Amino acid sequence: MIDLLRINDPEGEYPKSYYTSTVSIQNVLPSLQENIKCQICIIGAGFTGLAAALSLADLGYESVVLEANRIGFGASGRNGGQVGSGQRWDQEKLEMHFGFKQAQIFWNIAEEAKKEVYSRIKRHEIKCDYNPGVIQACINRRDTLDSYDQADQLTEKYNYQNLRKLNHEEISEILNTDFYKGGYLDLGAGHLNPFKLVLGLGSAALTVGVKIYEKTKVAKIEYGKKNKLTTSAGAVVNSDYLLVAGNGYLGNLDEETASRVIPINNFIIATEPLKYGFLESFLHHNYAVADSKFVPNYFRPSPDKRLIFGGGENYTYKFPKNFKETARKKMIKVYPQLKDSNIDFSWGGTLAITRNRLPCFRKVSDTAYSISGYSGHGVALSIIAGKIFAELIAKKSERFDFFSQLPIEPFPGKSSFRWPLMVLGMLWYSLRDRFR
């Protein structure tokens, strides 16, 4: 049986990434050794699990977090750091499928999600290098016109006043490349160091009394009136309520979630600090960028003037050996001037996607829930998801129900056979990127 928690990383250790080089790693927290009972148990110490624990504490609930590796070991500690606006679907698509009223709810929750991130940063004094500004950069004229329509729609229908359209000349000047044909700048979105954020949330949770056990892998869940969890070391946890927040690393621990939410891998590189004169305008503006490819390139400057560049994904469990070179080639297409720059760091991470790319909020039983599958748009959404879980426990289930009623269908073949079909579909779209 393939173990997603171990297959690409040494057991219990963080990957060597630019992010891990920016903090001093704390001593490991004790793992769970004895049997315990608790009111609320959470599996996974990423953004979802920790935001849930913190929001529960705000409402007066105690919780226990079980983390197979370390706090922020998963996607939360490795991602592109973009705190994006909206959902994974744009508002027009949401309106088409669900009508304006529901699309407005999606938008409002996404706006609250960004605010929740800022407010946690402020409240817990987390120094995570936040900077405002994300550019939606378009690779051709058609995508540029679509992005202008989106900007108009957000400004006029949703009264979102943070957008500035960019033409070819403007975007080229800001980004020091003429690769992109236009797009828009979103000053209501931003970027940060996600590892510092997730560690900050972990410390805040410990401070308010959340019990976090690291190197504690849940090996089995028995759902019932109470939930019985058994760790790989044999300790048993009995909990009144359970949140499964293992996202892309969960594997088949919960079969129904596994059939709806599948892991894919995505890769990032970081250059050496860039020499004076290289990408000056880009470094000066300090905006993050996400482009319009099906497998998007996303990049941003680091405080020490590196280019952090995300590009390329794969759909098998194991990271490919050449992912650093794949990402570097993508970077050089955008920035040929960096062809001789050293790549100091390269790392990969596993995220979870759903079939339609909307998040998967599941009521597993009357006392057990799972939230995952943000499909690459989870930095802000996972943090509001944690808050929505806490509301549910406090008997305000409206927002959880809103998401849990979305049509998140199983992948064809359910959890065991979904791979070949999914891989074919994804490869087809990623190949299309080459001809646009």
Residues in region 217-246 near ligand FAD by CB under 6 A: 217-218, 245-246
Task: Tell me whether residue 69 or residue 341 sits nearer to ligand FAD (CB atom).
Answer: 69
Nearest to 233 by CA among 62, 9, 71, 11: 11
On the 0-12 / 13-18 / 19+ scale of CB atoms within 10 A, 149 is exposed
- Tell me the C-alpha distance between 127 and 22, whole Å: 11
The pair phi, psi for residue 171, each rounded to 5°, is -65, -35
Task: Tell me whether residue 81 or residue 301 sits nearer to ligand FAD (CB atom).
Answer: 81
Q: x/- binding map, residues 363-382, to ligand FAD, per CB under 6 A? A: ---------x-x-xxxx--x
The pair phi, psi for residue 134, each rounded to 5°, is -130, 130
Among 20, 55, 63, 69, binds ligand FAD (CB under 6 A): 69
- Please give the residue whose beta carbon sits closest to ligand FAD in the complex: 378
Task: Tell me whether residue 82 or residue 259 sits nearer to ligand FAD (CB atom).
Answer: 82
Among 38, 42, 66, 358, binds ligand FAD (CB under 6 A): 66
Report in angstroms how near the CB of residue 332 gets to ligand FAD at its nearest: 19
Whether the CB-CB separation of 6 and 74 falls below 8 Å is answered with no
Q: Report residue 223 as tokens.
A: 């759902």
Report in angstroms how near the CB of residue 262 gets to ligand FAD at its nearest: 13
Q: Report residue 231 as tokens.
A: 């760790």
Report in angstroms how near the CB of residue 376 gets to ligand FAD at its nearest: 5
Residues near 148 by beta carbon (within 8 Å), at least 6 away in sequence: 165, 182, 184
Whether the CB-CB separation of 42 and 53 falls below 8 Å is answered with yes
Task: Tell me whether residue 120 or residue 275 sits nearer to ligand FAD (CB atom).
Answer: 120
Report in angstroms how near the CB of residue 386 gets to ligand FAD at its nearest: 8
**Binding flag, residue 63, ligand FAD (CB under 6 A):** no
- Tell me the C-alpha distance between 100 and 433, whole Å: 31
Report in angstroms how near the CB of residue 59 gets to ligand FAD at its nearest: 20
Residues in region 253-312 near ligand FAD by CB under 6 A: 253, 266, 268, 298, 310
Sign of CA dihedral 373, 378, 383, 384: negative
Among 17, 20, 31, 48, binds ligand FAD (CB under 6 A): 48
Please, which residues bridge with residue 138 across strands?
A: 182
The pair phi, psi for residue 431, each rounded to 5°, is -65, -35
Q: What does the angle CA 48 – CA 50 – CA 53 come to, to the nearest 5 degrees?
A: 110
Piece of 69-77, 176-184, 234-242, 324-332 that binds ligand FAD (CB under 6 A): 69-77
Binding-site ranges for ligand FAD (CB under 6 A): 5, 43-49, 66-69, 73-76, 78-82, 84, 217-218, 245-250, 253, 266, 268, 298, 310, 349-351, 372, 374, 376-379, 382
